[in-house]
Each structure stands twice: as C-alpha cells, then as structure tokens.
Structure 1
Amino acid sequence: MNQNGNENARDGGRAEGPLTGKVALVAGATRGAGRAIAVELGRAGATVYVTGRTTREKVSEVGRAAETIEETAELVTAAGGTGVAVPTDHLVPEQVAALVERIDRERGGRLDVLVNDVWGGEHLVEFGTSTWDMALDKGLRMLELGVKTHLITSSHALPLLVRNRGGLVVEVTDGTWEYNGTRYRENLYYDLAKNAPIRMAFGLSKELAEHGGTAVSVTPGFLRSEQMLAGFGVTEENWRDVIAKEPHFAIAESPRYVGRAVAALAADPERARWSGQSLSSGQLAKEYGFTDADGSRPDAWRYFMEAVEGETGRSAEEYR
C-alpha cells in the first residue's frame, strides 16, 4: 500500500483507498498509537469507529483534556475516511455491547478490523517498585485498564467480526515477545498488562483460523505520544532537544509510524501469514516499505537489544 494512503481526488471527490468499504473499530483512540492507527486506517479509506473516555465534555482519569475522541474522528475524516466517535468505557460491558450493536446496525452487519488499544494506565506505573511496596489498588487498576478492557471488547465485538470471513484483530501493546519474553518490565503489574495482549493475539489466532481471520499483537517502539512529549516538555517539532538528557530518545518514533504499520497489515490480502505473531512497527516498516513521518525507519526494539544491551557500539541513528 502507498504509505501516504488515499488523498482527495482533484475533482473534490474521494480517491478510493485499499480499505474503502471496510469498517474498523479502534478501541482506545483518544491519543497516541490509537489515534494514529485510526487516522491511518481512515487515510486508506476505511470507516473507523473511535472510542475512549475523554470527550469535549468529560475528561478521563488520565487527566488530559487536550485530546478527545471527537477530534480523532474529525482527523480520520480529514484524512479521507469516515470517522465516528462513540464515547465508551471499555470496562462497562453494557457500553461495549451498545457500541457493537450500533456498528452492526449502521454498517450492515460488518466489522472488518478490531484494534484493541485501550490502556490509559501510565499515571499508575511505578517502575522499580517491588510488588509488595506498590498499592494493590493501583496494580489491579492497571490490569483492568490493559487486560480486562481488551477481553470485554473482544467478547462483544468478535461475534460481529467473524460474521464475514477475513477479519483482522490487532492487540496493541508495549514490547515484542522476543523482548518481553526474557526481560522484566520493572513492575509486575505493568509486565503482566503488556504481555497479556501478546498472548491474547496468539490465542485468538487459533480461534479465528476457521473463520479466515487473523490476530496479531503490534507494538510501537519508543513512542513520541502527546503524553510523552508533554512529559519531556517538548513538541513534535523540537523533540530532538530531549536527546541531550535522554540519549535513547534518539530512536523515538511518532505515532504515525505504528498507524501506518496497522494500516499496511489491514490492506494486505496475505496478512494471515502473520497470524499469532508479535510484530513491531520497525519490523513491519521493512516488510511493507513505509516510513515514519520524517522519512526514517526506526527499529527501536532491535536498537535496545543490540546496541544498548548487546553493546554493539552502534548509534541510534544507525537503527533509523
């Protein structure tokens, strides 16, 4: 697929993209990877239902009013797709059931792509804190946000997705199985929350096989999300200023990179070859030929394994 997706036709109409006519649900699309995935699916022509808890009227526990699901839907439409914002708390089964019923009703019983990107637990993570020193309620909340939400969403959305053969499920996480499988992510609850989606994708790949479906887990690398940039006090325009105090930020990637990764997967008629696998934005960029917004192809997980831990002496720029 063309990495830039479809663009407006010169006569003012819409040029068809590889996902024109397809329907996607991006659960957890308020900001970061979820927003970028929704926009890139829209750029490829899809109708994208975007969900989250932060709207123009209400802010979630994350506490960021700057990004809303309404804005995400508008960005999807501006990119060339059709964005539909549906406020949804994915810990409330009744709300998720109503969401899926709406998609079924409005799109003629069709759901082609399900992206489970619900998280919103960054404010709870205490890296380097022993399990017995961390407040139990915080840890369990992380598991609710990062695991229970995905299970509730899949339970309600998969009956619609399997109604038509060839559906795609993407579990978004942090880290590949190659990386996470032999390393501790410095907080037990976070470790569990980010490894569970990898195993979910593996299990769902087995269940979807008879329906011609594909399930994968996808991770960005060192993500320059809105929240991450704000934490460092920079913007997307001057993000490299952070490298002086955080050298590994040199491998950072924009959310658009993982968005392009998922859009490329969704448009690939042979994507079943990936089913059950743990994939990264950098890996898929090499496979499909897309780049990040700046034209580079960062491969953060290889960088951390080889240059940081393996002491190859190679710089982050050599992994872009």
Structure 2
Amino acid sequence: MPIIEASHLTKRFGKFTALDGVDLEVNEGEVYGFIGPNGAGKSTTIRILLGMIKATEGKARIFGKDVWADAVDIHKRIAYVPGDVNLWPNLTGGEVIDLFMTMNGSTNQAKREELIKKFNFDPTKKSRTYSKGNRQKVALIAAFAFDADLYILDEPTSGLDPLMENIFQECVLDAKRAGKSVLLSSHILSEVEKLCDRVGIIRHGKIIETGTLDELRHLTRTHLTIKTKEQLTSLNKLKGIHNLEEKDSELTFQVDTEEMDTVIRYIAEFGILKLESAPPTLEDLFMRHYLGTENSKEEGAL
C-alpha cells in the first residue's frame, strides 16, 4: 500500500521550473532513497510533501490525504529531519528534544535516553554551542524517539562523523523492521545503497530512473581485471567495453552488464589466468547519468 503518492508534481518559481512532472511512490514498510545533487529538486519535493509550499501543478497524498489541505493531520504521523537544523539558542539540547517530542505527542522517555546514549550526545549544553553535527543529533534523536508511521529525512547525516552515520543507519533499519516507511533524501550513495529498497534519481527537476537497486544495475558497468595465457587482442572492439587500460600484463576495464556474457566468452578463448570482478555500485549509475548529462551540455555548446 502506498504511503506517499505524488503525481506530475511541478513547481515554478517565476520563470524557473524547480520540479517538472515528478512522480513518486513510497510503499508501507519501505525505505525509499531519493538521490540527486544539490539543486536537483529533492528538497523542493519534500517541502511540497510536508505542506510547506504548494505545488504549481500535480497532486501529492500521504496516508491517502492531500498534503496541502490535510497537512496538520498528516504531521501527527510523520517525523521530519532537515539537512540543516536550526535550534533555539538559549535552550539546551535536551530541552529542544523534549519540546519536539511534546509537539509530536511522544512520551517515550526510555527511547529518548537510549538514543542520547547511542549518539553520544550531551543534552545539557546550550544549543548555541553545538556544532552542525550536534544540531543534527538533536533532530535525529527527537525524530526516532517518536513512533512515527513515516520518516522524511532530507540529507539527515549532514555534519555527522562516520561512526554517527552508522548509528543513524541502525535507527533507519530499526524503523524498517518495525514496519515504518522512510523517505531518505541523500547524496551519500553508500548510505542509500545500504539502506534503501528502492531508489529514485532526480535530475533537473525530473525523475530519470526509479526502481530497486537490482533493477537499476542493468544500466551500470562492472569493473574487471584480467590476465590471460595468450595476448588478448581486439578487446576494445567489443561492444560494451569502456576505459580499457593495461598495466603489468593485466587489463582493467569496465563492461556494460548486459554485454558481460559475450565479453567473458571472448576472453575465455585466450585462456584465463586471473579474473577479478567488482560489482556495479549505485555510484556508477549516478555518475553515468550525470556525467552523460554534462557531456551532452558541453557537446551542445560547441
């Protein structure tokens, strides 16, 4: 059952089109990764979903309710963490967490204390003394202490060190195991790859790919390192071969996944002594889309 349903979302600011027909669906119990570089439209989409701004065109529903007309009701069941948290400077971190929890209707003090300990957070200091990472911790602790049905996380680990990022990932997986839904906006591809069931890639205000990681990996390239008994010839003439290099009698290259079978059969004719394969990553997919876009722009400009 879809928790979030967005159809043809368009948002214009004057002559600038920030979103151009975005379709988005997040299912119950699913962690959905929403990826793209800064300025691609992630935060604009999220602000529409939160009822903070109104879409120029299109519709969006959360829990079956209109995100603009029913924002108050929707917010009773969601937790939100932005990428840049602003706090009341004269309140302590603990006081801010308590305030957020009260606003959410949460009374789970045991969960609050558990998260403060996990995130190695000092709640007694004034908020004005906190680093960016500690401000993020305040929002994350308040969010995960709340038994929300949907967590909307917009670049939530911005400013956190790697150890705290691991704690965050544990919290997301705990929420998933509890049947909660998560919309995770991020440009940290390793984070998305570890956590998400499905991903959507947004570029220039448009969703350009969406699906499970396995479904998207057919568009990526596998890295191979090989050594053969006989000299391998004409490999660069095969379809799907990229970035071919030779070093110390070994060849390294990338191969389009859909051409893998043909390439391996060809290499086998030369007698394989060594073959190392690195699986395609989400980063490969991401960079392939964006580098392709930039190259197209440059070609068009010439």
TM-score range, shorter chain: 0.3 to 0.5
Higher-RCO chain (CA-CA 8 Å, sequence separation at least 6) = 2
Structure-2-length-normalised TM-score? 0.33
Structure number with higher strand proportion: 2
